[in-house]
Amino acid sequence: MKKVEHIGIAVKDMTASKLLFEKLLGATSYKTEEVESEKVITAFFKNETSKIELLAASHPDSAIAKFIDKKGEGIHHIAFEVENIENEISRLKDEGFVFVDELPKKGADNKRVVFLHPKNTNGVLIELCQEIK
């Protein structure tokens, strides 16, 4: 794994949360995008070395809506950038990790993504992401 690519934060109200983070970070979101397959709307902020992804449900039965209903707003996941997502999946499976879904799919911000199950990572949802080239 190369680095922490971003931290995902689940929010109820994207408009209000974007304004909050613009004030907090002193920067505007560089990208807002809907990921229909995940039923989520995302907004990204970045500085020189890190990114924040805000995630709001676009449908009441989405994973983000269920997360917020259960745990409230807050940190949803930590994403790590990888060189080769298939190699990392294989390596981590060999180490005994369990994935939410073992097949990478298109995520936000031009990435292929896969998630490790939080039951195997001390309750933290871990995302692996690889830039689509």
Average pLDDT, consecutive stretches of 10 residues, N- to C-terminus, the chain (133 residues)? 94 98 94 95 92 97 96 97 96 96 93 96 96 93
> What's the whole-model pTM score?
0.92
pLDDT of 47? 85
What amino acid occupies position 63? A
Q: What is the largest CA-CA distance in the chain?
A: 44
68 SS3 class: helix
Task: Say what the pLDDT of residue 49 is.
Answer: 84
